[in-house]
Amino acid sequence: MAAQNGKDLLIKLDLTGGGQFTTIAGLRATRISFNAETVDVTSLESQGGWRELLGGAGVRSASVSGSGVFVDSATDDRARQIFFGSTVEQFQVIIPDFGIVEGPFQITSIEYAGSYNGEATYELSLASAGALNFTAI
């Protein structure tokens, strides 16, 4: 696989609930991470004292974060509504040459910053809130 353009890793949200996803405006950097808890079933009978894990058990989750320039568009307004309403909404994360992750997420933080001689910036974090679907590209 050839190197990919970082700007192609996109976070999208459904503005209306109708399944039409829009890229969150102004993002400059994005990240998604997947996690899976393990369930340790090691006992005195474990071969050679090696740890044993129970396959298919544990909690799976995903976290998404992004940072960028505040541009006060419809996606910024919608992100604030979702955060202050503490609602779980549908999001998509486009991972170039890999696939699309789609499902329910909750916005867990929004941070705004600015300096006297610079642009206003923001950061947001999301946590998965249910089963996610993956579609390979």
Domain boundaries, the chain: 6-136
Model pLDDT, residue 74: 86
Residue 33 pLDDT exceeds 90:
yes
**Residue 102 C-beta-side C-alpha neighbours within 13 Å:** 12
- Asked whether the beta carbons of 14 and 29 are under 8 A apart, the reply is no
Model pLDDT, residue 72: 73
| 6-136 has CATH 2.60.40 classification | no
Amino acid at 69: V
Q: Provide the 3-class DSSP secondary structure of residue 82.
A: helix
Residue 46 pLDDT exceeds 90:
yes
Percentage of the residues of the chain whose pLDDT score is greater than 90: 75
Residue 94 pLDDT exceeds 90:
yes
- Asked whether the beta carbons of 116 and 78 are under 8 A apart, the reply is no
Would you state the torsion angle of the CA atoms of residues 53, 56, 62, 23, taken in this order, to the nearest 10 degrees?
Answer: 150
Model pLDDT, residue 57: 86
Model pLDDT, residue 1: 63
pTM check: above 0.85: yes
CA nearest neighbour of 65 among 11, 121, 8: 11
Residue keyed to tokens 């320039």 = 69
Residue 107 burial class via C-beta count within 10 angstroms: exposed 0-12, middle 13-18, buried 19 and up: buried
Q: What's the mean pLDDT in 34-39?
A: 94
Which letter does DSSP use for residue 74 in this model? H
Return the minimum-mean-pLDDT range out of 66-80, 85-99, 100-114, 118-132.
66-80
> In this predicted model, what pLDDT tens digit does every residue of 116-134 receive, in sequence order?
999 999 999 999 999 999 9
Residue 6 pLDDT exceeds 90:
no
